[in-house]
């Protein structure tokens, strides 16, 4: 039986600003965020406002920010696609799960899979890159599960908590994702369809959080 989900991906809106800022102001979240961990809340807010700003609809922006949303839990996390290249058909991807309660659930894996599907099936990309801190084992285990290859180990690349840490660079080619999808078709074939259905249903109903499985 295929997996169905109430989690979906949508474009980030300015109304998401307070939620995203709330996530990024927690020390735990910022530990995994690339950039200076000593940035002030004002600087973070300004950065996010710039991220959530609109590009003209008829152009491909350098970066796309999507919210991982759920009818049950509301906004769960942020998906960032950076350095999108039409010429190389590639981008780098970052996934942040802001809802702490869901970080050890199926949500990160589902969200990662949905993000890959979006990149390959909608943006028609050939390759996705992801840079993940070595201490963020849950994240790199997920991306390895989907078929990404650890291509680079950047030694002592980032400074956190007074220590240098390695950063892993993963690469996932379209052919590798297609192989993963074919091998797991019985679980994933209805995933995108259920996501779209759920998104439409949530958009048609008033906001109401429940204690249901995301």
- The residues binding another protein (CB under 8 A) are 35-36, 62, 83-85, 87-90, 126-127, 129, 149-159, 164, 169, 171, 173
Q: In whole angstroms, how close is the CB of 96 to another protein at the nearest point?
A: 18
CB nearer another protein, residue 100 or residue 156: 156
CB nearer another protein, residue 17 or residue 152: 152
Q: In whole angstroms, how close is the CB of 61 to another protein at the nearest point?
A: 11
Instruction: Tell which phi-psi region holds residue 150, choosing left (phi > 0), alpha (psi between -120 and 50) or beta.
Output: beta
Q: Is 108 helix (H, G, I), strand (E, B) or coil?
A: helix
CB nearer another protein, residue 33 or residue 109: 33
Q: In whole angstroms, how close is the CB of 107 to another protein at the nearest point?
A: 28
CB nearer another protein, residue 2 or residue 35: 35
CB nearer another protein, residue 123 or residue 173: 173
Q: In whole angstroms, how close is the CB of 74 to another protein at the nearest point?
A: 32
- DSSP letters, 160-213, are ETTEEEEEEEEEEEHHHHHHHHHHTHHHHTTHHHHHHHHHHHHHHS-----S--
DSSP state of 123: S
* Residue 68: half-sphere exposure toward Cβ, Cα within 13 Å: 26
Beta bridge partners of 5: none
Contact yes or no for 38/7 (Cβ under 8 A) = no
Q: In whole angstroms, how close is the CB of 184 to another protein at the nearest point?
A: 22
In the 3-class helix/strand/coil scheme, how is 11-50 assigned residue by residue?
A: ECCHHHHHHHHHHHCCHHHHHCCCCCCCCCHHHHHHHHHH
């Amino acid at each position: 039986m295929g997996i169905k989900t109430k989690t979906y991906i949508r474009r980030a809106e300015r109304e998401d600003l307070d939620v995203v800022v709330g996530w990024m102001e927690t020390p735990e979240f910022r530990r995994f965020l690339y950039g200076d961990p000593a940035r002030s809340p004002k600087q973070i807010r300004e950065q996010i406002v710039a991220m959530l700003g609109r590009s003209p609809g008829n152009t491909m922006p350098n970066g796309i920010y999507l919210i991982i949303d759920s009818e049950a839990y509301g906004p769960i996390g942020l998906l960032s696609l950076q350095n999108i290249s039409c010429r190389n058909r590639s981008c780098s991807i970052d996934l942040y799960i802001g809802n702490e309660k869901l970080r050890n659930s199926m949500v990160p894996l589902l969200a990662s899979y949905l993000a890959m599907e979006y990149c390959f099936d909608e943006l028609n990309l050939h390759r996705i890159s992801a840079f993940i801190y070595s201490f963020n084992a849950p994240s790199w285990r997920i991306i390895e599960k989907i078929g990404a290859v650890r291509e680079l180990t950047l030694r002592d690349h980032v400074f956190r908590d007074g220590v240098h840490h390695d950063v892993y660079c993963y690469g996932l080619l379209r052919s590798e994702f297609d192989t993963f999808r074919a091998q797991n078709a019985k679980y994933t074939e209805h995933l995108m369809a259920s996501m779209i259905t759920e998104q439409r249903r949530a958009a048609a109903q008033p906001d109401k959080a429940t204690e249901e499985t995301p």
